[in-house]
Amino acid sequence: MFESLAEKVYIVDVDQDPKKASKELGLGLSSSEMEKVSEYFKKKNRLPTDIELQAIDQAWSEHCCYKSSKVVLEETLFNVKSDSNVIAREDAGVMEFDDENYYVVGLESHNHPSAIDPYGGAATGIGGILRDVVCMGAQPIALTDSLFFGDLDIDVNELPAGVKHPRYLMGGVVAGIRDYGNRVGIPTVAGQVNFHQGYTGNPLVVGGCIGILPKKELIHSRVGGIGDIFILAGGRTGRDGIHGVTFASAELHADSEGEDIGAVQLGDPITKEPLMHLCLELNRKQLLTGMKDLGGGGLSCVVGEMALEGGFGATVEMEKIPLKAPDLAPWEIWVSESQERMMFTVTPENVEIVLEHCKDWDVEASVIGKVIEDKRVEINYENKKILDLDLEFTTAGPIYRREYNEINNDIEIEEELPTPKKKISENILGMLSETNTASKSWVIRQYDHEVRGNTVIKPLQGKIGHEGAGDSTVMKPVRDSWKGLAITTDVNSHLMEKHAYHGSMAAVEEICRNLVSVGARPDSLADCLCFGNPEKPDRMGEFRAACEGLARAGSEFGIPYVSGNVSFYNETAEYAVPPTPALLGVGIIEDVRKCITSDLKAEGELWIIGETKQEMGGSLYYRENGWDSDIVPQSDVKRFVKDMNALLDSIESGEIVACHDCSAGGMAIAVVEMCIGGARGAEITIPTELRKDVALFSESNGRWIVQVAPGLEKEFAARFECATKIGIPSEKITFCKNEEKKAELTVAQVREAWEMPIWNRLA
């Protein structure tokens, strides 16, 4: 089946036994895909080399060509109409910031690597998203992390074979993000940590990055023209990261660690830091015609993608690629995903000066090839051509219209309420202690979220030493401007599990509520769509429903999706992850000095904006009491947009001194979180039109708790169709209905319940 062409390069007789050839080469290509490959080479009147098959395998992986998702994405998210000015969608999204600058957004998942090597998988995920932003010419200013784990309290004996305990996974993932981000000096400013049984065997690790760049410095991920020279800069190429995209395009199993550990890359932030400076300097001096990072698929993807995007092809001299070990086979060199590597294209006259700059920054760099007219990639090795592939064939990839089970988006609006089991105060303390609600300070305090000095509003907000939960962080990215960027992340796994369509719409709405809570106008979204096996109709139905919800919400709100990825096969034999479209939202603030925070201030009435409804499906309150319901919160988009704009005007006018989004746990938990941050209590009157527990704990969309500046109540209330006064600051936290006290708690009680659960599990 194999015939030697050169040292460590073989001709493969795919016609003899395609399935056997695929297995022996470790390919992820299906039988039908191997048949297409065989037909291609028959037309060429020759057999393929092993490196050619490996290159096609990378390009046709789910991770690279989106073969199961492209049809759905083209019907949904790619058609979102927006009011924002999208400049580019490449390795990262580029958006208008002001007259002189763009901001850049990148979002990527690194799930499978983190499942088998949590520290390395998470660290290299951060390294990859930094490169995505840098290769647009932008200086990174902020990192985000959205993390999803199984139950921290699961008994080790209940874990499936080959699955690591969620506490171990969480500890390793957070350490990887901490060490990488802190060492490169980029603040990690926003994120979320979500727990659900479905993530037990397959945690999700989603990293985001925001950057800023002068408009004149925008560079694209494509070659400039025929004769341009390819320069590979940064780390050397090794065996780490072999078949990374193939590994990411299959389910995890009990033997994944032993079989696939080589697919996990090795990050090196000490190499990355000068490499980033080098990239930005070369670009600023206009010495590059194109720049792209080496991520999924390594050289096999970056060379062809840059060339084809420019309308050309490329030739590569393989011996010129710097290696970590001398015994790598050519196919290993070509598909390796070794980290900290960037590809530049440069005109011939600028090659030497670029190499001198690389030397000045102590970054290794080598000329490895050039741009040619024909849309093909050729590789020469030992004076022999070992790869010759048409780019339009390799990059097109197969496209599948997978079967799916349709989800009904119509929901009944009435349900029979169960009889309450616990007192209001017991429910509040229990819900605050639930790991999804409890303080994530164990994570946040490990990250440097203030390095570079541009973080105006921090992840935890309130009195020093008494900080509570915030909705968004705020960055001031330009030195001589007060204009800012607000950053937040969100998705509710439990709501998504109940209904993928309405859960997705709720996630987009909560992103908007979080941004507006600090005074920012939502401007862009990024989405990492993490789902199970797309070959199963149930999973594909969830994916389609989620995309439809995201698309509708984006279009209704006028907010574009500018970055992200699709991550399928997040599944083991025992568990599939809940449908998880992890979102990153960015908002624009005209003057960061007018921003507000979530902590309760000493003076000012508390009001609730929006309507509370009896829709308890997926709620924290129902989970706390062991109840279930399919009546999930729905979005009234037109009303929400009206209230959102009114609230922004109210904040701009100085009528609001504190604001907090109503989400998990409803009004009661939102008020308590404001009290924690303000280190003071509140006297709350429960609205009478609903049963008290529904009024307190419903997670209806479209709501905020705001504290109104004294004397401006009339001006504030006149802006809203539905805004109700609910209380005032006080010494203790009390909830009353019809002047009867239903619950009383001290700030110390709620702080202990909220602050300690994750520390107690992971300290």
List Cα–Cα distances, 466 to 461, 671, 674, in angstroms: 8, 15, 11
Kindly write down the DSSP assignment for every residue of 419-453, as one continuous string: PP-S-HHHHHHHHHHSTTTS--HHHHTTS-SSTTS
In the chain, what is the greatest distance between 2 CA atoms, to the nearest angstrom? 90
List Cα–Cα distances, 464 to 499, 678, 679, in angstroms: 39, 10, 10
- The number of C-alpha atoms within 13 Å of 450 and in the hemisphere containing its C-beta is 6
Look-up of token digits 């020093």: 464
Which residues belong to the annotated binding site for substrate? 109-112, 131, 265, 337-339, 567
Question: Quick one: tokens of 471?
Answer: 């909705």
Q: What are the φ/ψ torsions at residue 703 (nearest 5 degrees)? A: -130, 145
Contact between residue 491 and residue 194 where contact means Cβ atoms under 8 Å apart: yes
Contact between residue 581 and residue 529 where contact means Cβ atoms under 8 Å apart: yes
Which residues belong to the annotated binding site for ATP? 66, 527, 564
Contact between residue 437 and residue 447 where contact means Cβ atoms under 8 Å apart: no
CA-wise closest residue to 186 among 301, 277, 80: 277
Contact between residue 562 and residue 105 where contact means Cβ atoms under 8 Å apart: yes
Which residues belong to the annotated binding site for Mg(2+)? 108, 132, 293, 565
3-class secondary-structure state, position 90? coil
Which residues belong to the annotated binding site? 66, 108-112, 131-132, 265, 293, 337-339, 527, 564-565, 567
CA-wise closest residue to 719 among 625, 621, 647, 624: 647
660 in active site: no
As a whole number of Å, the CA-based R_g of the chain is 27
Q: Which residues does 664 contact at the CB level (< 8 Å), separation at least 6?
A: 436, 437, 492, 619, 620, 699
d(CA 419, CA 413): 19
Q: Considering 63, 220, 494, 660, which one is annotated as catalytic?
A: 63
63 in active site: yes
Q: How far apart are the first and last CA of the chain?
A: 55
Q: What is the b/e burial string over 2-11, where b = at least 16 CB atoms within 10 angstroms of the residue's CB?
A: eeebeebbbb
d(CA 583, CA 130): 18
Q: Considering 110, 449, 494, 499, which one is annotated as catalytic?
A: 110
In whole angstroms, what separates CA 179 from the centre of its chain? 19
Q: Which residues are catalytic?
A: 63, 110
